[in-house]
Amino acid sequence: MTPSVLLDTGVIVALLDRRERRHHDCVRALTGLGARLVTCEPVIAEACYLLRAVPGASEAVLANVARGSFSLGLRLAEEAEAVASLMSRYADQPMDLADACLVRMADLLDTGRILTLDADFRCYRWRSRRAFDLLVAPGN
């Protein structure tokens, strides 16, 4: 089975918008990764919103979902209680829905490997105590 890597909003945006400051860092991190990229619908929604001014970018995000380049690894209806619990646990951050879904997916998929630019993932823990393996150095 191909190992999974979680995929967050900022990396999707940086990959599809060459004007983004972290574009090359994200391309480099993805090159040769050889892993299944797993994300969630809140991340896809955020990415499409943030890329709305980049011609064709939102369509590219959805095309990546359609062809399976970005797998969806969480059914929110089944995991809403666990996701809400995480948001409550990290209320001091505050943790948004997309981040809570990614942390929950780490538990479900048994992986802490993540492509993110979000420094909050330095604080978040999967399986309650495990630190995430940040495959791109987060920004400030």
In a domain? residue 139: no
Domain span at 18? 4-134
CATH number of the domain where residue 20 is located: 3.40.50.1010
In a domain? residue 100: yes
pLDDT along the chain (140 residues), means of 10: 89 96 95 93 98 97 97 95 97 94 97 96 95 85
In a domain? residue 101: yes
- State phi, psi for 39 to the nearest 5 degrees: -140, -165
**Cα angle vertex 81, ends 75, 85, to 5°?**
120
Instruction: Give the total number of structural domains in the chain.
Output: 1
In a domain? residue 65: yes
Query: Largest Cα–Cα distance of the chain, in whole Å?
Result: 41
What lies within 8 Å, CB to CB, of 22 at 6+ separation is: 10, 14, 117, 136, 139
Residue-level pLDDT at 58: 97
Neighbours of 78 (CB within 10 A): 10
pTM of the model: 0.94
